[in-house]
């Protein structure tokens, strides 16, 4: 059934369809309409779940961590400083291998205060051991939430579903609302291997030593390093599981694509613009314009940022003359985080092949600065002609 709704509602509908049983949230703009919607579903009885109106984001994730440890399918959502306030818990959730899903409605972080969109919040959580997926439209938001639960529960790793504040969260767009029966067939009830249970007691997340240690049966139990290494290994393997999720989803819902990247007019392109989230769809307009001028350019959205699909990205960019990475965040003191990761993937897979593209970095839309399509087109036009700068270039800056 096609409906017209905003991006936050798309996420809320996805969570309802996935039958999350414990939801905890603390209000922060622009996430609020999403969690308000969920409180409506729960209070009206439309959704059978416990909704905990916590006193902070730190507690929101605490509730989800504990609920997930007790066997519940959980949900929370946040933005900007709310996510930063959660940071300790974000790390805890992945370390404890809890398959939860959290939406991050991307917003700039303070100081100074700013409620508008960029992606510094979720990018700053890159190294926390979560799976991180970026959405470019409302269909992707609802579909990604559904796929995220399946993926998280397969690999026991939490998933962050990220989408741009306002640009997606508060705009209305038509999208297909999946049937409950279809979602139920895609996503079976959550049955964890272990959960907090007085009949089968265990002490979870106890102090774990640097080295391996004998258990009471005389078997060696993991040390902290083994546990952490398994998280890394399983995160890398999750790329395969993500592909399975995409295939399963396509089999039931008749839609889907490459799970990792979303290329547009890239096949014959000499230059490829790369980004995360809604900006990649805006760049499609630029690419269409530049194509009429004879510039062979395409655009590629990166959907999975962690685990990083380095192979897929390098394969897609192999033989291109130039790659133009346009980001709404940066690793202060160097360059965009996606830029660094992408260059590292190209080096790993293409070094010595003679087909390493020139890579340039542009920073756009920080703190919600309007990204004018004309400016973006001009940026891509200039970058396709040759290297603009060694340092990241800020689009629309008026210093």
Partner 1 sequence: MQAKSTILSLPTEELVHPGTRACTGCGLSIAYRVGLKALGRDTILVVPPSCLTVLQGLFPVASTKLPCLNVTFASTAAAAAGILATLKAQGNEHTTVAGWAGDGGTSDIGLQALSGAAERGDNFIYFCYDNEGYMNTGVQRSGTTPIGAITANTPFKGKLQQKKDVPAIMAAHHLSYVAACSAAYPLDLYDKIKNCLALPGTKYFHIHIPCPPGWGYDPRYGIKIGRLAVETGYYDLYEIVNGEFKLTAASEKLIEKRKLVPVREYFRAQSRFRTLTEAQIGDIQKTIDEKWAGYYKKDE
Nearest distance, CB of residue 9 and partner 1, angstroms: 23
Contact 121, 169 (CB under 8 A): no
**Out of 17, 62, 123, 261, which residue is the one contacting partner 1 (CB under 8 A)?**
62
Whose Cβ is closer to partner 1: residue 199's or residue 254's? Answer: 199
- 351 is an interface residue for partner 1 by CB under 8 A: no
The tokens for 143 are: 């579909």
Strand partners, 103: 77, 161
- 89 is an interface residue for partner 1 by CB under 8 A: yes
Residue 309: burial class (beta carbons within 10 Å; 0-12, 13-18, 19+): buried
Contact 249, 186 (CB under 8 A): yes
Question: Cα–Cα distance between 232 and 236 in angstroms, integer?
Answer: 6
Nearest distance, CB of residue 333 and partner 1, angstroms: 28
Contact 77, 11 (CB under 8 A): yes
Stretch that binds partner 1, among 30-38, 59-67, 136-144, 368-376 (CB under 8 A): 59-67
Nearest distance, CB of residue 168 and partner 1, angstroms: 29
- 58 is an interface residue for partner 1 by CB under 8 A: yes
Question: Cα–Cα distance between 76 and 23 in angstroms, integer?
Answer: 6
Nearest distance, CB of residue 130 and partner 1, angstroms: 16
Range list of β-strands (E), 269-380: 271-275, 297-302, 304-306, 322-327, 358-363
**Out of 70, 225, 257, 397, which residue is the one contacting partner 1 (CB under 8 A)?**
70
Stretch that binds partner 1, among 85-93, 111-119, 136-144, 361-369 (CB under 8 A): 85-93
Question: Cα–Cα distance between 73 and 159 in angstroms, integer?
Answer: 12
Output the CA torsion sign for 138, 139, 143, 148.
negative
Residue 370: burial class (beta carbons within 10 Å; 0-12, 13-18, 19+): exposed
Stretch that binds partner 1, among 192-200, 233-241, 255-263, 390-398 (CB under 8 A): 192-200
> Cα angle vertex 114, ends 6, 395, to 5°?
85
Question: Cα–Cα distance between 160 and 233 in angstroms, integer?
Answer: 19
Residues touching partner 1: how many (CB under 8 A)? 47
Whose Cβ is closer to partner 1: residue 15's or residue 346's? Answer: 15
**Out of 27, 46, 56, 233, which residue is the one contacting partner 1 (CB under 8 A)?**
56
- 230 is an interface residue for partner 1 by CB under 8 A: no
**Out of 198, 218, 294, 333, which residue is the one contacting partner 1 (CB under 8 A)?**
198
- 207 is an interface residue for partner 1 by CB under 8 A: yes
Stretch that binds partner 1, among 49-57, 144-152, 365-373, 390-398 (CB under 8 A): 49-57
Cβ neighbours for 308, distance < 8 A, ≥ 6 positions apart: 341, 345
Interface with partner 1 (CB under 8 A)? 21-22, 24, 48-50, 52-56, 58-60, 62-72, 74, 88-89, 92, 196-198, 200-209, 213, 215-216, 221-222
């Amino acid at each position: 059934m096609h409906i017209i709704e905003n991006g936050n509602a798309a996420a809320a509908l996805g969570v309802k369809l996935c039958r999350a049983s414990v939801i905890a949230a603390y209000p922060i703009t622009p996430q609020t309409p999403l969690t308000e919607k969920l409180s409506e579903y729960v209070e009206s009885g439309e959704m059978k779940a416990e909704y905990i109106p916590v006193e902070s984001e730190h507690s929101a994730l605490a509730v989800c961590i504990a609920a997930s440890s007790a066997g519940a399918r959980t949900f929370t959502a946040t933005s900007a400083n709310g996510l930063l306030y959660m940071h300790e818990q974000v790390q805890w959730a992945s370390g404890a291998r809890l398959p939860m899903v959290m939406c991050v409605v991307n917003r700039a972080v303070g100081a100074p205060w700013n409620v508008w969109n960029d992606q510094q919040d979720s990018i700053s959580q890159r190294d926390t051991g979560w799976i991180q997926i970026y959405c470019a439209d409302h269909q992707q938001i609802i579909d990604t939430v559904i796929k995220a639960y399946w993926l998280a529960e397969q690999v026991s790793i939490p998933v962050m579903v990220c989408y741009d504040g306002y640009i997606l969260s508060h705009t209305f767009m038509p999208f297909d609302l999946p049937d409950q029966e279809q979602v139920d067939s895609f996503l079976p009830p959550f049955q964890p291997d272990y959960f907090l249970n007085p009949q089968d007691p265990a002490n979870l997340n106890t102090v774990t030593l640097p080295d391996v240690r004998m258990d009471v049966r005389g078997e060696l139990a993991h040390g902290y390093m083994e546990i952490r290494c398994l998280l890394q290994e399983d995160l890398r393997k999750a790329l395969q599981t993500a592909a399975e999720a995409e295939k399963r989803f396509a089999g039931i819902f008749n839609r889907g694509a490459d799970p990792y990247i979303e290329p547009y007019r890239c096949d014959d392109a000499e230059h490829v613009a790369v980004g995360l989230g809604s900006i990649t769809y805006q760049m499609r307009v630029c690419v269409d314009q530049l194509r009429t001028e004879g510039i062979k350019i395409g655009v590629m959205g990166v959907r999975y940022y962690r685990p990083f699909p380095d192979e897929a990205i390098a394969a897609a960019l192999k033989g291109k003359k130039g790659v133009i990475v346009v980001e709404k965040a940066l690793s202060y003191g160097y360059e965009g985080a996606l830029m660094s990761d992408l260059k590292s993937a190209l080096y790993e897979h293409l070094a010595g092949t003679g087909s390493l593209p020139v890579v340039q970095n542009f920073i756009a839309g920080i703190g919600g600065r309007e990204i004018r399509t004309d400016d973006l087109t001009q940026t891509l036009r200039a970058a396709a002609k040759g290297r603009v700068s060694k340092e990241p270039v800020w689009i629309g800056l008026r210093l």
